[in-house]
Amino acid sequence: MYEAWNDYQMTQTHDLEIQEHWHRHYRMQIVRHYELLMERIGMNVDPYELLKLNFDTISGMHHMMEAVTLDVFRDLSRTYKNVIATNCVTEIKGRLSIFEPYCYRIFLSDEIHAIKPTATFFNVMLNSLGCRPEECMMIGDSAADDMAGGKRAGLHTCWYRPGNDQKTCPDADYRIQSIAELPPLLESIS
């Protein structure tokens, strides 16, 4: 999959061309991935049907998080306005449904027509919430999209790096290795 991802330069979110067409390229790189896969295994399957199946499958997935994530999200919703802000196409929004009861708002890049790390994405989010940047914290796993974008928008930033990853991020004000570290962190800086 990374071959097609790289062909479409999906990680180059700082590039204005990529920013403008990111969602179309996202869909196209998945189709290209399935074209390459079908070619390699010698099958003739419509890549657009596989794209739909891919989106349907991902939309129902919730296992890509730590076991405590939902509990932490629920507990934090009693004190904070939890917001999900993600570079995501609408076809896979369903994977976020598990958070909706504990979420003040969900911002999908596909729905607001801007991607992280652009100022437009963060401005739309902040204006919609009626918040000042210094009242918010961007918690994310991407140094470029979440940390750099959040920092440029004036938000506090917390880099989520699970496990023993020792990479550093100059744009992160804080760093956590487990989502369970988030409540004590927020309590200590409140």
Whether residue 153 sits in one domain with residue 132: yes
Angle at 142 between CA 98 and CA 104, to 5 degrees: 35
Helix (H/G/I), strand (E/B), else coil: 1? coil
Give me the CATH number covering residue 82.
3.40.50.1000
Report the number of distinct structural domains present in the chain: 2
The residues, any chain, with a CB within 8 Å of residue 167's CB and separated by 6 or more, are 143, 161
Q: How far apart are CA 136 and CA 153, in angstroms?
A: 10
Distances from the Cα of 52 to the Cαs of 46, 109, 146, in angstroms?
A: 10, 19, 28
Which of 32, 59, 86 marks a domain boundary? Answer: 59
Query: Is the bond preceding residue 117 a cis peptide, omega within 30 degrees?
Result: yes
The residues, any chain, with a CB within 8 Å of residue 36's CB and separated by 6 or more, are 3, 4
Q: What is the DSSP string of 65-86?
A: S-TTHHHHHHHHTTTS--EEEE
What's the pLDDT at 53? Answer: 87
Q: How far apart are CA 131 and CA 129, in angstroms?
A: 5
Whether residue 102 sits in one domain with residue 52: no
What's the pLDDT at 58? Answer: 80
Whether residue 49 sits in one domain with residue 78: no
Whether residue 158 sits in one domain with residue 87: yes
Whether residue 162 sits in one domain with residue 105: yes
Q: Residue 56 — very low, low, confident or very high, per pLDDT cuts 50/70/90? A: confident
Q: Residue 2 — very low, low, confident or very high, per pLDDT cuts 50/70/90? A: low
Whether residue 119 sits in one domain with residue 38: no
Whether residue 179 sits in one domain with residue 94: yes
Whether residue 46 sits in one domain with residue 7: yes
Q: What is the DSSP letter of 29?
A: H
What range does the domain containing 42 cover? 2-59
Q: Cβ distance 175 to 169 under 8 Å?
A: yes
Q: Cβ distance 42 to 35 under 8 Å?
A: no
Q: Residue 86 — very low, low, confident or very high, per pLDDT cuts 50/70/90? A: very high
Q: How far apart are CA 122 and CA 153, in angstroms?
A: 6
Whether residue 180 sits in one domain with residue 87: yes
Q: Residue 180 — very low, low, confident or very high, per pLDDT cuts 50/70/90? A: very high
- Structure-token match 């076809």, residue found: 91
What's the pLDDT at 4? Answer: 65
pTM as predicted: 0.83
Whether residue 158 sits in one domain with residue 81: yes
For residue 163, what are its two tokens? 């496990």
Q: What is the DSSP letter of 143?
A: I
Length of the chain: 190
Residue 129 pLDDT greater than 90, yes or no: yes
Is 157 part of any domain?
yes
Q: Higher pLDDT residue, 175 or 25?
A: 175
Q: Residue 63 — very low, low, confident or very high, per pLDDT cuts 50/70/90? A: low
Q: Cβ distance 149 to 122 under 8 Å?
A: yes
Q: What is the mean pLDDT of residues 11-38?
A: 84
Whether residue 77 sits in one domain with residue 48: no
Is 64 part of any domain?
no
Mean pLDDT is lowest, of 11-15, 83-87, 126-130, 170-174, for 11-15
Phi/psi at 156 (5° precision): -70, 150
Whether residue 78 sits in one domain with residue 10: no
